[in-house]
């Protein structure tokens, strides 16, 4: 009876420690009443594994079951991907195992016992778990709350994942090759402490990468805002210059109509006036969304694309009530349209017709912005960045688009095949 009470108490400490560990590195889901039961869910899972462990004679199966339970728990109660689930579940169990193993080695080295898990009193069990809790508190102080892992690529996750994986293999080898010799135990103690330190250093390195990635993203966003402002001024200058040239042409055509009217050629003057009216309507705003910034960007990109031989088809709605500010609007629209025009210019050079289909509406209280354009060849999309074999990364602006989308908790999806590229934003 005493042993059962002790075991259940230790498993209660483990359940609390596991939840504390996952809270450090991952963002909790708001699952309502289920969220309030998460401690009991994990506690019962740990008790079940311990109960099954009495019938399983394989330490490897016990470790696998524990990691799988942690992964399922992370999936159910935290906003995380499968890579993070695997990484942090293995890391958590490795630190738990190594801290227990270190404490037991120290206890055996300081006593005359030769068997593993030969502890002198019940107090040592709790002290062993307190060492693990202390280790978690250290991790909590080191980690500065960066829980956005989108900056890490699949290749980086694979490299980081090798550390807890090798740690798990090493601790299993030390467990199965355990020896009662004091020298061997001292060597295992040194290796176990070293593995704990390496895993902590890996977490520090991951945090530095995330912090620097965030700083670079903010810097790129700032540069993008400055570039957008400069581009706006350049666009306005180009509009004024184009209007000046057109005004000069309009004056000449009006004089021509006056001459035709004086000569009595009314029909020719009417035809010229009709062509002039059509030309003026085209030069006027091609798109009107009841939002001055949106109008400025869409019309400027329309004229810029037309000069490159690229057509645009618009489906727009009333944008007067949009919650985006001017800079965010420019970043969102300009980046996607610039990428589309950039690709369509290559399509035109290949002798094909290029048409960009644009949808910008507000439906159900959300802004839906979609850009679909043909491609000269299929481009690779990796982690929100478009990779072009010819010019390298030309879709870096998509990261700034994603930053705006993330600010409002929206969705951003991009896809590409052999025929077309499409980007869709919902905010």
Cβ-in-10-Å burial (0-12, 13-18, 19+) of 66 comes to buried
The pTM of the whole model exceeds 0.85:
no
Does residue 145 contact residue 138 with C-beta atoms inside 8 Å? Answer: no
Give pLDDT tens digits for 243-259. Answer: 666 666 767 777 787 87
Q: Mean of the pLDDT values across residues 160-180? A: 83
Picking from 171, 52, 159, the residue whose alpha carbon sits closest to that of residue 68 is 52
- Per-residue pLDDT at 30: 73
Per-residue pLDDT at 298 exceeds 70: yes
Continuous H helices in 263-291: 266-283
Please give the Cα distance from 164 to 196 (Å, whole number): 10
Per-residue pLDDT at 169 exceeds 70: yes
Three-state secondary-structure class, residue 396: coil
Does residue 258 contact residue 250 with C-beta atoms inside 8 Å? Answer: no
The domain limits of the chain are 2-220, 287-427
Does residue 3 contact residue 52 with C-beta atoms inside 8 Å? Answer: no
Beta carbons within 10 angstroms of residue 312's beta carbon? 24
Per-residue pLDDT at 395 exceeds 70: no
DSSP string across 170-189: HHHHHHHT----HHHHHHHH
DSSP 8-state code for residue 165: H
- Check residue 409 and give left, alpha or beta (phi > 0: left; psi -120 to 50: alpha): left
CATH fold group of domain 287-427:
Heat Shock Protein 90 (3.30.565)
Beta carbons within 10 angstroms of residue 400's beta carbon? 23
């Amino acid at each position: 009876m005493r042993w059962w009470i002790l075991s259940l108490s230790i498993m209660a400490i483990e359940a609390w420690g596991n939840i504390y560990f996952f809270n450090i590195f991952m963002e909790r889901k708001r699952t309502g009443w289920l969220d309030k039961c998460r401690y009991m869910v994990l506690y019962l899972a740990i008790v079940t594994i311990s109960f099954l462990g009495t019938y399983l004679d394989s330490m490897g199966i016990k470790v696998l079951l524990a990691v799988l339970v942690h992964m399922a728990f992370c999936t159910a109660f935290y906003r995380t991907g499968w890579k993070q689930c695997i990484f942090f579940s293995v890391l958590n169990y490795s630190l738990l195992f190594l801290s227990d193993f270190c404490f037991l080695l120290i206890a055996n080295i300081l006593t005359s016992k030769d068997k593993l898990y030969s502890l002198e009193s019940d107090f040592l069990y709790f002290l062993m778990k307190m060492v693990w809790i202390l280790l978690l508190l250290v991790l909590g102080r080191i980690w500065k709350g960066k829980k956005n892992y989108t900056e890490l690529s699949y290749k980086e996750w694979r490299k980081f994942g090798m550390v807890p994986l090798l740690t798990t293999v090493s601790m299993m080898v030390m467990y199965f090759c355990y020896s009662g010799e004091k020298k061997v135990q001292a060597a295992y103690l040194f290796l176990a402490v070293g593995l704990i330190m390496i895993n902590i250093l890996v977490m520090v390195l991951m945090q530095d990468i995330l912090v620097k990635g965030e700083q670079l993203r903010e810097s790129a966003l700032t540069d993008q805002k400055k570039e957008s402002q400069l581009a706006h001024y350049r666009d306005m200058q180009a509009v004024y210059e184009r209007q000046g040239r057109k005004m000069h042409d309009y004056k000449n055509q009006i004089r021509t109509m006056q001459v035709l009217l004086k000569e009595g050629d009314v029909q020719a003057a009417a035809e010229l006036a009709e062509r002039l009216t059509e030309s003026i309507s085209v030069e006027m705003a091609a798109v009107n969304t009841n939002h001055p910034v949106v109008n400025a960007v869409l019309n400027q990109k329309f004229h810029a694309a037309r000069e490159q031989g690229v057509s645009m088809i618009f489906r727009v709605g009333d944008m007067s009530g949009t919650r985006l500010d001017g800079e965010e609007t420019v970043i969102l629209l300009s980046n996607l349209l610039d990428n589309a025009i950039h690709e369509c210019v290559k399509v035109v050079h290949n002798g094909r017709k290029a048409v960009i289909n644009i949808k910008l509406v507000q439906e159900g209280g959300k802004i839906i912005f979609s850009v679909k354009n043909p491609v000269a060849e299929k481009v690779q999309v990796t982690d929100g960045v478009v990779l072009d074999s010819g010019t390298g990364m030309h879709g870096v602006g998509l990261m700034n688009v994603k930053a705006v989308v993330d600010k409002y908790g929206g969705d951003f999806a991009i896809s590409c095949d052999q025929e077309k590229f499409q980007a869709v934003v919902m905010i």
